[in-house]
Structure 1
Amino acid sequence: MGAHSCPALPYRPPTDLGLCPSLAPPFPTSSRSSSVAQLFPPRPRQRPPAASAHPAGGLITVATCSLNQHALDFDGNLDRILRSIKIAKERGAKLRIGPELEITQVRPSLFRDTHLHAWQVLVKILECDDGLDMIVDVGMPVVHKNVIYNCRIIIHNRKILLIRPKMWLANDGNYRELRWFTPWMKHKQTEEFWLPKMIADVTGQVTVPIGHAVVATQDTCIGVEMCEELFTPAAPHIEMALDGVEIFTNSSGSHHELRKLRTRIDLIKEATLKSGGLYLYANQQGCDGDRLYYDGCSFITLNGQVIAQGSQFSLNDVEVVTATVDLQRIRAHRTWSSRSMQAAGNQEAFVRTRAETRLSTDQDEDLVDAIVDKEGEFRYNLPEEEIAYGPACWLWDYLRRSGTSGYFVPLSGGIDSCATATIVFSMCRLVAKAAAEGNEQVISDARRITGEDAETSTYVPIDPREFCGRIFHTCYMGTKNSSNETRQRAKALVEAIGAYHVDLNMDACVDAIHTLFTLVTGKKPEYKVHGGSQTENLALQNIQARLRMLLAYLFAQLVPWVRGKNGALLVLGSANVDEALRGYYTKYDCSAADVNPIGAISKVDLKRFIAWATKAFELPILDDFLNATPTAELEPITGDYVQSDEVDMGMTYEELSIFGRLRKQEKMGPYSMFTKLTTLWGSKLTPTEIAEKVKRFFFFYAINRHKMTTLTPSYHAEAYSPDDNRFDMRPFLYNAKFGWQFRSIDAKAAAMPDRRRKEDGGEDEQKTA
């Protein structure tokens, strides 16, 4: 099958988008409509073929929405839903869909009154005049026969056409939907659902169908596919397409993860490339108070091509993507023989609920100019850009909803705390850009956070450095083991981004703890470089690390008071995913914080992000962090010794990333990881050397697994995160000796040849076993 051009409605982004230039899809804009999606420019005007005006269906305008919903925020969630309906109506849409569980948010707390309030919100949606003469699809939990389902409610002219429960639930990784919901197990079947009286009083209906069905209008047919269902091998859209469904809706709560967006889009493109059809994807946007950030990027595809797309990262609470398409293009795409034979086979038909309306209109002179042909593909954000904007948007939502007045970061002069600070500065840049473009919600939130009077203030945060100075606070907590280089790097960074900075020495606090211990026990511990044991050395390092956590919370509570302001600050952590995986940090040290924007990002990706931000954010000081040796600076510096993270760990950060992906994503234990790495590393390391690295990793992973139970809540960005909360549900007490596994590795390593290349660059040595 060849590619087909796809007509859609062009638009100009509104002035309150709040997007960085690199965030907006690179589609040239048009002045014909005001939509969040940006499309390619139209080709020279041509009147479509006469077949497009077939009485069975012509042009249809559809809308899909990204909403920044918050768990159990019924007032705010309703307001955003109604705004999206109003925008869709103004753009002429006849079908509007929103994200998954948009009334309660994607992870509803199952209080008994949650269901009551969800129905009360639905009453307001049914009564909304903007929703008349269009099909509106909203999401909420529904209890049917004492079973709770995740449902879509399909509405038309104050009538409920169908309640469609979700059939396949995500129950791994970040999602454990079976804790809350039960899947609808009755394939292509419906039942009667008795409506609550408050709904019946509005709709005049007593019962409505609930189940696996589709909605038929006078000119087309609409089928629902919900989030996880798209990812299943036997996705519902296949059977629906063969039964004549032409429009598919997918209401989703899909979180951001580095390099994930392409997978999501490819699945939807493939869904309509083979089957033909118009696919509307609506995704949640923002942070609902959890570890995840939902990255929006709602989009529309037609016959395997993306024709309209919203932003992936945005500070907007409501984004509506619209497109106008010709239904005849779907029918033309489906005329190929093999598809027709499968469709004509002995298929069990879907139950159809009828909507007495036509969604399409015949083409006229005004709409001809609105049709464009897609000529390219939108640009995906680089992983470095995803790190810059995803955690930044997450931090903004967390800050504005937490009731606090800013963030506090203990700066070490190393690349991890540098990355955290740079992400906060990225957040300030997003806020400044959104405010400059007139985003009233962002301006209002910024005024409240900075302590401005909501009624009289005219403050607009259009300077990111100035805004950073109001809400971002840092502190360098030095000791006699700290170097002047790290102190100066920390100072230069905060000067570049405009943060409020404190520089202190905490030796008096450290010495007081040392003195107390010696006074009580009569023993004086020493560092290793001064002749102390490994036990003494670790204890003395941990004293410094844990005191930094105490000081961080002290300053976070009192610095606003020192500056004559109200409120307190949220403490940000700066431990990366590889350190958590290896357990290379002190439990309850300054990695213990309120939230951590880099806790699921690898050191390798963080360095790439810093290299990118050096130019993108015009921060040349970041080069100094890239070139510095990672060090905790918890041991004395001598003439021949400077502490190094990678030396302490016995492995590089790059190796840790590989260990992490093999352990989590490829589900490898010690032996299978060793055999895998002998093929990856065999040309540079002996089998015995690889065996020692694998055993060392698993030993330290096992003995430090308990640290995951107290890991600071982190922005989820990596598929190999060891986060103990839901995502990586494993024991936190292992037999760290791995006796059977390590013996198997040793036996295998002893039997394997050395495949390292000869120093003269010759061929690999011949295998002898």
Structure 2
Amino acid sequence: DHYYESDTLLHSFQVLAKLLESPVTQDIICDVGMPVMHKNVRYNCRVIFLNKKILLIRPKISLANAGNYRELRWFTPWSKARHVEEYFLPRIIQEVTGQDTVPFGDAVLATKDTCLGTEICEELWAPNSPHIEMGLDGVEIFTNSSGSHHVLRKAHTRVDLVNSATAKNGGIYILSNQKGCDGDRLYYDGCAMISMNGETIAQGSQFSLDDVEVLVATLDLEDVRSYRAEISSRNLAASKVNPYPRIKVNFALSCSDDVAVPVCMPIQWRHHSPEEEICLGPACWLWDYLRRSKQAGFLLPLSGGIDSSATACIVYSMCHQVCLAVKNGNAEVLADTRKIVHDETYVPEDPREFCKRIFTTCYMASENSSQDTCNRAKLLAEQIGSYHINLNIDAAVKAIVGIFSMVTGRTPCFSVYGGSSRENLALQNVQARVRMVLSYLFAQLTLWTRGMPGGLLVLGSANVDESLRGYLTKYDCSSADINPIGGISKTDLKNFIQYCIENFQLTALRSIMAAPPTAELEPLVDGQVSQTDEADMGMTYAELSIYGKLRKIAKAGPYSMFCKLINMWKEICTPREVASKVKHFFRMYSVNRHKMTTLTPSYHAENYSPDDNRFDLRPFLYNTSWSWQFRCIDKQVNVL
């Protein structure tokens, strides 16, 4: 909503003036993005300039308005195809360029040796992408400056779109994508690329702590022309195309004596595995958040289970990335590191040593905790190098329950001791919420006790499946400052843990992988854990991932989910069993939906995130009986 503020428009033009004046931009056709108000309508635009002259302001035609994006809230799409108007420049720009007006609209640039066209982000993904008609009209080079965020397994889609754009129609496509944390839940993962005639020529990094990356390639325009010349269907369509307005530019991208200059050859795109994406993406996001928040590190309640252990491994991966960036000469990362640890001479070289400085893990035992989970947490902390704390919460829990008993004259009991389900749940929730209070206390004061300045950010570790089901206590340890795994499924986290065993040699993770997930909030039986997550939830994590994808991505309500699952699970479940599972999921989903209103901001990694604040805008108060929908399911079961 900063786009509503006139300050944003003003400051954008001020920065544009600096870019126009900078000697760095001389003799380069520059394409920069900014909001522009034209005739009192706000547009998302590319401003293309060369040598202190604005050549064209190109407004965006297709706006992103789904999922995490709300462009139509702030901008209006340009609806006048192949139409150009005069834009009256503000005085701050007139003083630099000497221009009163510049072209504004849907046009292309004609240099001495080629023709350039611009797409903007979402337009590449649109079914009627501008590059199609531009290419038919003779545009040979397409630029796209994008704000495309990371989602697991998404990068190949972006790469395929770019390569297919030039495979059918020929041409050179230059994609630049934002990098880093946007101060919110999204992480933009770079992946700049250059493609020609359907093949990748240059590939930028997907995850990096470098704020800026420059990708270059030398290509031969004659290769584009010869490629296009033999596609007869393209040439027939090109002969009928409605031409674009051309802005003539007295400039050439090539020179007359470049015959001996070697051209770049196609390369094979190297995709990260999902486990590598989890290792690198959230780690870069955490680093951006840490350095920009100016805190001194992180505190994680480490339970010895898969979720909190995966979170710890992501922080450890972040420490690896920082040490590697400093080793490779990244001065900005080194400067940020020194600010975080409050030491102007510090150089991070060993990830474990750096982890000790900025990462505190805390095992919060109770009488319901097993020695096994305590040992697992301690061993993992030793292997990654975190500053580890062991504490016991029983005194605090008994004090809180004691206050309740003193006021009411009643003492609640766990169900194994004859208590009701209400008592049992309340006693579990007290333990969980005490851990949240202690997490923030230790985050604020742990460094103080160690004689070190600053405070710590509290990390949450609820995965996307648990959030979807609502299998968490409101205001327990799922309530934190940020959560790097809140958009990642349990299945992917298990695979990531295995990746860490193999690549970081964290052998402590083997026993964590082998143990059944448990909240450890109910009394032990003969010293052993009797409570497991999947038994508590009444569904498996694998089932939860399927429910989540059907609910959010496939937009399935109870009835359509049932219809899809009777075919998907026909080998393992009867229609009646499927109906029972679907009903149970929707009851639990709707009963717990209110918890999404307080969900900790999480790294967005899955398209079935239940995040109530920006991504999933369904209500948080439901009629949990779903009477009409469930009757429809029952009728279908009887027919089957």
In 1, Cα distance between the equivalents of 2:209 and 2:239? Answer: 47
Match of 2:630 among 713, 723, 742: 742
Partner residue, 2:49 = 155
Once the two structures are superposed, the pairs formed by residues 551-570 of structure 1 within 5 Å of their partners are 551-570=438-457
Match of 2:130 among 236, 249, 267: 236
Partner residue, 1:516 = 403
In 2, Cα distance between the equivalents of 1:600 and 1:691? Answer: 27
Once the two structures are superposed, the pairs formed by residues 274-673 of structure 1 within 5 Å of their partners are 274-335=168-229, 336-345=231-240, 347-362=241-256, 364=258, 366-367=260-261, 370-374=262-266, 376-453=267-344, 457=345, 459-639=346-526, 642-673=530-561
What runs of 5+ residues in structure 2 fail to find an aligned partner?
A: none
Verify: 1:703 aligned to 2:591, yes or no: yes
Deviations 1:705-743 (A, max 9, x none): 111111000000001111112211111111110001111
In 2, Cα distance between the equivalents of 1:412 and 1:649? Answer: 19
Instruction: Report the Cα offset of residue 133 of structure 1.
Output: 1.6
Deviations 1:283-315 (A, max 9, x none): 000002110000001000000100001100000
Once the two structures are superposed, the pairs formed by residues 749-760 of structure 1 within 5 Å of their partners are 749-752=637-640
In 2, Cα distance between the equivalents of 1:339 and 1:193? Answer: 34
Partner residue, 1:177 = 71
Q: What is the TM-score of this pair, normalised by structure 1?
A: 0.82
Once the two structures are superposed, the pairs formed by residues 3-22 of structure 1 within 5 Å of their partners are none
Q: Is the 8 A contact 1:251 1:282 kept in 2?
A: yes
Cα distance change on mapping 1:244 and 1:641 into 2, 3 Å: closer
In 2, Cα distance between the equivalents of 1:358 and 1:685? Answer: 67
What runs of 5+ residues in structure 1 fail to find an aligned partner?
A: 1-106, 753-769
Partner residue, 2:158 = 264
Deviations 1:251-272 (A, max 9, x none): 1000000000011110111110
Q: Is the 8 A contact 2:302 2:308 kept in 1?
A: yes
In 1, Cα distance between the equivalents of 2:459 and 2:257? Answer: 56
In 2, Cα distance between the equivalents of 1:322 and 1:328? Answer: 18
Q: Is the 8 A contact 2:217 2:264 kept in 1?
A: no
In 2, Cα distance between the equivalents of 1:353 and 1:192? Answer: 13
- Matched AA of 1:305: E
Partner residue, 1:208 = 102
Deviations 1:669-702 (A, max 9, x none): 1111111111111211121111111000000001
Instruction: Report the Cα offset of residue 362 of structure 1.
Output: 3.6
Instruction: Report the Cα offset of residue 108 of structure 1.
Output: 4.8
Verify: 1:128 aligned to 2:16, yes or no: no
In 2, Cα distance between the equivalents of 1:408 and 1:245? Answer: 53
Q: Is the 8 A contact 1:303 1:330 kept in 2?
A: yes
In 2, Cα distance between the equivalents of 1:234 and 1:372? Answer: 30
Instruction: Report the Cα offset of residue 641 of structure 1.
Output: 6.6
Cα distance change on mapping 1:741 and 1:632 into 2, 3 Å: same
Q: What is the TM-score of this pair, normalised by structure 2?
A: 0.98
In 1, Cα distance between the equivalents of 2:302 and 2:214? Answer: 40
Q: Is the 8 A contact 2:326 2:334 kept in 1?
A: yes
Match of 1:188 among 70, 82, 86: 82
Deviations 1:156-202 (A, max 9, x none): 11100000011111111000111221111111111110001111111
In 2, Cα distance between the equivalents of 1:328 and 1:163? Answer: 29
Q: Is the 8 A contact 1:176 1:726 kept in 2?
A: no
In 2, Cα distance between the equivalents of 1:432 and 1:380? Answer: 23
Q: Secondary structure at the match of 2:48?
A: strand
Partner residue, 1:729 = 617
Instruction: Report the Cα offset of residue 329 of structure 1.
Output: 0.6
Q: Is the 8 A contact 2:316 2:351 kept in 1?
A: yes
In 1, Cα distance between the equivalents of 2:256 and 2:318? Answer: 46
> Which has more helix, going by share of residues?
2
In 2, Cα distance between the equivalents of 1:678 and 1:735? Answer: 25
Partner residue, 1:85 = none
In 1, Cα distance between the equivalents of 2:26 and 2:326? Answer: 33
Q: Is the 8 A contact 2:368 2:522 kept in 1?
A: yes
In 2, Cα distance between the equivalents of 1:207 and 1:373? Answer: 41
In 2, Cα distance between the equivalents of 1:140 and 1:695? Answer: 48
In 1, Cα distance between the equivalents of 2:492 and 2:3? Answer: 34
Q: Secondary structure at the match of 1:149?
A: strand
**Structure with higher RCO (Cα < 8 A, 6+ apart):** 1
In 2, Cα distance between the equivalents of 1:450 and 1:264? Answer: 38
Q: Secondary structure at the match of 2:219?
A: strand
- Matched AA of 1:434: A
Cα distance change on mapping 1:632 and 1:356 into 2, 3 Å: same
Q: Is the 8 A contact 2:597 2:613 kept in 1?
A: yes
In 2, Cα distance between the equivalents of 1:448 and 1:544? Answer: 36
Q: Is the 8 A contact 1:687 1:750 kept in 2?
A: no
Partner residue, 1:675 = 563
How many equivalent pairs are there?
638
Partner residue, 1:49 = none
- Matched AA of 2:533: D
